[in-house]
Chain A
Amino acid sequence: MPPSSSSSFTRPSRQSDYARFSPTTPIVIDNGGSTFRIGWAGESDPRITFRNVVQRPRHKATGDAVTLVGDQDPALMKYFDCTRTSYRSPFDCNVVYQFEIMEYVLDYGFECLGANSEVNHPILMTECICNPLSSRSKMAELLFETYGAPSIAFGVDAIFSYKLNQQYGRCYEDGLTVCSGFSTSHVIPIVQGEPVTKACCRTNIGGFHITDYLKQLLSLKHPQHISNITWEKAEELKMEHCYVAQDFTSELQQFQKGNEDAKEKTRCWQLPWVAPTQGEVPSEEELTRRAALKEKQGQRLRDMAAARRSLRITELENELNGLENLSQQLDEVDEHDVSSILAGTKFYSRQEIESNIIRLTQSLRKAKGEPIEVEEKNDASLLEKYPLASVPDEMLTPEQLKEKKKQIFLKTTSEGRLLAKQKRLEEESIRERQNQLDEEKRLENPELYLEQMHARYRELCERVEQRKKPKTNGNHNLLGGVGRGERLTAAQKERMRLLTSAAFDRGKGEDTFGARDEDWQLYKLMSKDNDDDDNSLDEEEAELARVTCRLQDIDPNFVPRSDLVPIPGGTTEFQKFRPQTAEDFQIILDVERFKCPEVLFQPNMIGIDQAGLDEMAGISLRRLPSVDDSLKAEMSKSVLVTGGCALLPGLLPRLEAGIRQLRPYLSPLKVVRASDPVLDAWRGASRYANSPHFTLQTISIQDYYEKGESLLRQYQMKYTI
C-alpha cells in the first residue's frame, strides 16, 4: 500500500454567471448529510459541492471568530486557532435541527454560486422522507424570509434518483429503492411512479457509522497510533479498502484459519517513521576505548576532589593557627587590653574563641579522614546543661519553673536522639555481620546459595501475588458494586458484617440507625481501607526487592518479574533494548475490511437494535397496504440501490442474496445500482425542476404568508410530472 498522501481537495470556485440565468430558472439544492450540492436546474452536474459542515475557529491575528464552511486547505489552517472548535453539522440523524449552521451553509452555497443581489429564483430543496413539520417550517422560514426566495419545493433525494434511473431505463414504474445515505438507510417502495410513504422503512445506520466503527476498531487495535487515525483518514480507508463480504461467516472463518486468500486480502498501512540512528553493537576496541575513557574521567574527578580537600585542610589549619595565636595573645596580655583586642576581632568572649578552636580542630580531623572522637561529654554534661531539671518544683520561682520545663524538654529530646543513634549503630552492626555471613556462605558454595536465593524469590513472588490478587479483585469490582460472591478481603467482609448486623439488629420494621450517638461508633470498629494488609504487604515487598537486587548482582541470567516489584532502571533498559522496527508503525486491516460495512446488514454489531438492509426490503414489502403478489413480483424486478454506501464493492450481490431469501422461491428478482449513486439525486432533482410543470409543485411566498404552517403540513410533492 503506498504511503498515505495528504488528501487533496479542491475548494469550490466562485461562479460568475449568476446574472445570466432568468428568474424562472430554479436553483436545485441537494442538502445531504455528508455533502451539500447546489446548482442550476437543467444542468447535468451541480456547480458547487462541499462537505456539509461548519467550523468557527478564532483567527489568531485578529482574535475574532470566523466561519469556515466545508473542508479547508490544511496549509492555511495554521492561521486559525482550532483548539476549542470542532466540525458541526446542521443535521441530527437526517433531520436539520441547527438552523444557524444551515444558514452559514446556505450563505456559502449562494455566495459561491455568485449571488450578488437577492436570490429571486425558485428553490428546490431535498429533505428526508416524513420530515418533521417543525424542521420543514423552519427551513421554509429561512428560505423565504432571509433569502427572499419567491417559491420553494421540497422533495426526497432517493426518489429523484429513482426517477432519473427510470428515465435511463434501469428501473421501472413500480419498484423499490434502497437508499443508504450518511446517517440513515431507507427502503421506499414506488407504485405507479409515486412513493408509498406508509410502507417506507428507515434504519439509523449509514456511512457515518461504518467510518466511526472502523476508526474505533483501529484505535483499539493500535492504541499507540491513535493520533494518526483521524476521522478523515478512516473515511479514506473505508472508501479505498472496505468491501462487503458475500457470506460473512465463511469470510470470517477464512481469516480465522489464516488461509492464503485471507493473507491476500490483508492490507497494511505503513505510517511514516524514522529509524532511530543506532550504531551497530560496539566492537571490542570500542568497548575498551570507552572503558579507558571512563577510567580517565574517574581519575580526573578523584584528583580534583583530592586537590579541593587539601585546599580546605590548609584553610582550616590557617584559621586554627590564627585563633590559637589570638588566644595566646589574650593569655599574655592584661585584663584591660582584652576587651580592646576582642573588639578588633569578631569574637565576644574567650569561651567563644575556645569553642571555635575546638570546632575547627574537629572539622580538620574530618577533612583529613581521621575518625572523630565520640562526644563523651554528653553523658556528663546532660545534667550540667539542665541543672534545673533535677530540682523539685517547690523550691523554684515561677521563672525558674518555666526554665525547668524548657530544660526537661530539651533533655528528653537529646536523650531520645542519643537512644536512636545507638539503636541505628546496633542495627547497622547486625546487618554488617549478616552480610558477612552471607558472603561467606556464598563463597563456600555458590551454586547452593544461588538455588536457595531463587527458591526464596519464587516463594516471595507467590506470596506477594496472592496478597495482591484479592486487593485488585476488590478494587476492580468496586465500580460495579460488590456482589455475586466476589472474593472479599477479610477487612471488607468484616465491614459488611458490621453494617448488616447493625441494620438487622433494629428489627425489620424501621431503620433507626443513627438516632443514637453510639451507633456511629460502629465505624470506628471497621478498619480503614485495608490498613493491615498494606503493612504486611510492604514488608514482603521490601524483602522481595532486596532478594531481587541480590539475585541481579550474582546471577547474570536472572530476569526479574516486573509486575510485582518496580525495579528502578532495570526493566526500562531491558525493554528499550528491542529496537523499533518498521512493523511497529504498520496498521493492519484484515478483518476490519469487511466487518465495518457488515454493520449495514447487521446493525446489532454496534448495538443498534434494528433490521439490516435486506430485512428492511422484506419489511417494506410487507407494509404495503393491500397489494397483491403480482405487484410485489413486479416490484422485485426493479430494485434500485442508491446513496453513498452503494459504492461499496460487493454490496449488490449481498443485497440480492438477502432479498432472495425473503421472496418466494424462484420469483423474479433484479437489483441494480444507480448510474451514479452519489450524484443521481441532484441530477434527478435538476431534471425535475427543469420540467414545465414544476411550478405547480412549489409553494409560493404569498401562499406561505396566507396559509402558513397548514400548507406545509399538507405539502406532498408529486414526482410524475
Chain B
Amino acid sequence: MEPEVASSEMVLPVVLPFKRVQMSDKYPKGQSRGRQWKHLKQILQAENYASLPADEPNYLSIESPPSMYPSKKYCDITGFEAHYVDPRTTLRYANPGVFKRIRGLTDDQIQRYLALRNAVIVLR
C-alpha cells in the first residue's frame, strides 16, 4: 500500500472493531453477490400488496397517475415546439432546417435521440 494512500485513509479497512460480523465472514470471497439482491420490481411483487387490505397505503398506491394534460411535443434536436414528425424515424422536428439534419443522422444517433424520450422500440 503506497504511503499516501495509507495516510489518506481512503480505503475501507477489512476488519472493523464495532461490527459483530465482519464482511469477509458474511460474504465469502469468490461468489458473485450481485444476483442475490432483488430489484425494486421484484421486491414489490414479493410484497404482494393485493392480499393486504386495500385502504392501507402502500408503496404502489401512492404512485402518481399519468398526467391529465395532453403532453406537449418538443423537437428532439433543438428543443423548440415541434409541430411535425418525420415518418421514417418518428423524430419530432420544428422546422425544415432541422429536418435536413435529421435525414443526415446515423442510425445510432437516431436511436439515442429516441431513447431520450423513451421511445425506442427494441426488438429482442
Provide the B1-36 mask, 1 if CB < 8 A to any CB of A, else 0: 110110011111100111111010011000001000
Provide the B29-57 mask, 1 if CB < 8 A to any CB of A, else 0: 00001000111100110110000000101
Indicate whether B96 reaches chain A with its CB closer than 8 angstroms.
no
Contact call A95/B40, Cβ cutoff below 8 A: yes
Contact call A117/B58, Cβ cutoff below 8 A: no
Residue among B27, B64, B68, B78 having the largest count of chain A Cβ atoms under 10 Å? B64
Contact call A200/B67, Cβ cutoff below 8 A: no
Chain B residue nearest to A77 (CB atoms) is B10
| Residues A132 and B57 in contact in the complex (CB < 8 Å), given A197-B62, A220-B112, A255-B80 | no
Chain A residue nearest to B94 (CB atoms) is A256
Indicate whether A107 reaches chain B with its CB closer than 8 angstroms.
yes
Contact call B67/A609, Cβ cutoff below 8 A: yes
Across-interface contacts of A603 in B (CB, < 8 A): 67
Across-interface contacts of A602 in B (CB, < 8 A): 67, 71-72
Contact call B67/A108, Cβ cutoff below 8 A: no
Chain A residue nearest to B60 (CB atoms) is A130
Complex Cα spacing A103 to B59, Å: 24
Contact call A132/B47, Cβ cutoff below 8 A: yes
Complex Cα spacing A92 to B39, Å: 7
Contact call B116/A68, Cβ cutoff below 8 A: no
Across-interface contacts of A97 in B (CB, < 8 A): 37-40, 43
Contact call B67/A615, Cβ cutoff below 8 A: yes
Q: How far is the CB of B42 from chain A (nearest CB, A)?
A: 9
Across-interface contacts of B40 in A (CB, < 8 A): 92-93, 95, 97
Indicate whether B124 reaches chain A with its CB closer than 8 angstroms.
no
Indicate whether A210 reaches chain B with its CB closer than 8 angstroms.
no
Of the candidates A110, A145, A479, which one forms a contact with B20 in the assembled complex, judged by CB atoms under 8 Å apart? A145
Contact call B1/A61, Cβ cutoff below 8 A: yes
Q: How far is the CB of A48 from chain B (nearest CB, A)?
A: 13
Complex Cα spacing A591 to B4, Å: 44
Contact call A119/B64, Cβ cutoff below 8 A: no
Complex Cα spacing A213 to B79, Å: 12
Indicate whether B74 reaches chain A with its CB closer than 8 angstroms.
yes
Q: How far is the CB of A705 from chain B (nearest CB, A)?
A: 14
Contact call B12/A104, Cβ cutoff below 8 A: yes
Across-interface contacts of A92 in B (CB, < 8 A): 39-40
Across-interface contacts of B18 in A (CB, < 8 A): 110-111, 115-119, 147-148
Indicate whether A704 reaches chain B with its CB closer than 8 angstroms.
no
Across-interface contacts of A69 in B (CB, < 8 A): 12
Complex Cα spacing A52 to B18, Å: 21
Complex Cα spacing A92 to B113, Å: 25
Indicate whether B117 reaches chain A with its CB closer than 8 angstroms.
yes
Chain B residue nearest to A112 (CB atoms) is B9
Provide the B76-106 mask, 1 if CB < 8 A to any CB of A, else 0: 0011110000001000001000000000000
Q: How far is the CB of B112 from chain A (nearest CB, A)?
A: 6
Complex Cα spacing A154 to B53, Å: 23
Complex Cα spacing A531 to B111, Å: 30
Indicate whether A349 reaches chain B with its CB closer than 8 angstroms.
no
Indicate whether A72 reaches chain B with its CB closer than 8 angstroms.
yes
Across-interface contacts of A310 in B (CB, < 8 A): none
Chain A residue nearest to B11 (CB atoms) is A66
Contact call A100/B33, Cβ cutoff below 8 A: yes
Chain A residue nearest to B120 (CB atoms) is A607
Contact call A604/B71, Cβ cutoff below 8 A: yes
Contact call A611/B67, Cβ cutoff below 8 A: yes
| Residues A130 and B4 in contact in the complex (CB < 8 Å), given A97-B40, A100-B27, A216-B112 | no
Chain B residue nearest to A56 (CB atoms) is B12
Indicate whether A657 reaches chain B with its CB closer than 8 angstroms.
no
Complex Cα spacing A606 to B10, Å: 37
Indicate whether A385 reaches chain B with its CB closer than 8 angstroms.
no
Contact call B10/A72, Cβ cutoff below 8 A: yes
Chain A residue nearest to B59 (CB atoms) is A130
Chain A residue nearest to B44 (CB atoms) is A132
Contact call A99/B1, Cβ cutoff below 8 A: no
Contact call B57/A198, Cβ cutoff below 8 A: yes
Complex Cα spacing A76 to B112, Å: 34
Across-interface contacts of B79 in A (CB, < 8 A): 217, 252, 591-592, 595
Complex Cα spacing A668 to B20, Å: 55
Contact call A116/B116, Cβ cutoff below 8 A: no
Provide the A203-214 mask, 1 if CB < 8 A to any CB of B, else 0: 110000000010
Q: How far is the CB of B53 from chain A (nearest CB, A)?
A: 12
Across-interface contacts of A213 in B (CB, < 8 A): 116
Q: How far is the CB of B52 from chain A (nearest CB, A)?
A: 9
Indicate whether A249 reaches chain B with its CB closer than 8 angstroms.
yes
Provide the A252-289 mask, 1 if CB < 8 A to any CB of B, else 0: 11011000000000000000000000000000000000
Contact call A220/B109, Cβ cutoff below 8 A: yes
Indicate whether A166 reaches chain B with its CB closer than 8 angstroms.
no
Across-interface contacts of B81 in A (CB, < 8 A): 249, 252
Contact call A611/B68, Cβ cutoff below 8 A: yes
| Residues A116 and B17 in contact in the complex (CB < 8 Å), given A76-B8, A252-B81, A606-B117 | yes
Complex Cα spacing A130 to B44, Å: 11
Indicate whether A476 reaches chain B with its CB closer than 8 angstroms.
yes
Of the candidates B13, B27, B43, which one forms a contact with A111 in the assembled complex, judged by CB atoms under 8 Å apart? B13
Chain A residue nearest to B40 (CB atoms) is A92
Across-interface contacts of B121 in A (CB, < 8 A): 480
Q: How far is the CB of B72 from chain A (nearest CB, A)?
A: 7
Q: How far is the CB of A551 from chain B (nearest CB, A)?
A: 26
Of the candidates A73, A98, A107, A616, which one forms a contact with B37 in the assembled complex, judged by CB atoms under 8 Å apart? A98
| Residues A619 and B107 in contact in the complex (CB < 8 Å), given A97-B40, A604-B71 | no
Chain B residue nearest to A607 (CB atoms) is B118
Across-interface contacts of A249 in B (CB, < 8 A): 72, 81
Indicate whether A612 reaches chain B with its CB closer than 8 angstroms.
yes
Complex Cα spacing A110 to B4, Å: 23
Q: How far is the CB of B26 from chain A (nearest CB, A)?
A: 8
Across-interface contacts of A204 in B (CB, < 8 A): 63
Q: How far is the CB of B87 from chain A (nearest CB, A)?
A: 9
Complex Cα spacing A477 to B26, Å: 53
Residue among B38, B43, B78, B81 having the largest count of chain A Cβ atoms under 10 Å? B43
Complex Cα spacing A437 to B1, Å: 80
| Residues A609 and B2 in contact in the complex (CB < 8 Å), given A68-B12, A73-B8, A479-B107 | no
Q: How far is the CB of A103 from chain B (nearest CB, A)?
A: 7
Across-interface contacts of A327 in B (CB, < 8 A): none
Contact call A132/B5, Cβ cutoff below 8 A: no
Across-interface contacts of B33 in A (CB, < 8 A): 100
Indicate whether A225 reaches chain B with its CB closer than 8 angstroms.
no
Indicate whether A6 reaches chain B with its CB closer than 8 angstroms.
no
Across-interface contacts of B109 in A (CB, < 8 A): 220, 223
**Interface contacts beyond A67-B12, A107-B23, A132-B44: sample of 4 additional A-B pairs, CB < 8 Å, sorted by A:** A130-B62, A131-B59, A200-B62, A202-B63
Which residues does A use to contact B, with CB under 8 Å? Answer: 11, 14, 59, 61-62, 66-69, 72-73, 76, 79, 92-93, 95, 97-100, 103-104, 107-108, 110-111, 115-119, 129-135, 145-148, 197-198, 200-204, 213, 216-217, 220, 223, 249, 252-253, 255-256, 476, 479-480, 591-592, 595, 602-612, 615-616, 619
Q: Can you spell out 16 A-B residue pairs with CB atoms less than 8 angstroms apart?
A: A11-B8, A61-B1, A73-B10, A95-B40, A97-B43, A100-B37, A108-B12, A111-B12, A115-B18, A134-B47, A197-B62, A220-B113, A591-B79, A609-B67, A611-B67, A615-B67
- Of all A-B residue pairs in the complex, the 4 with the closest CB atoms, nearest first, are A607-B118, A604-B71, A591-B79, A92-B40
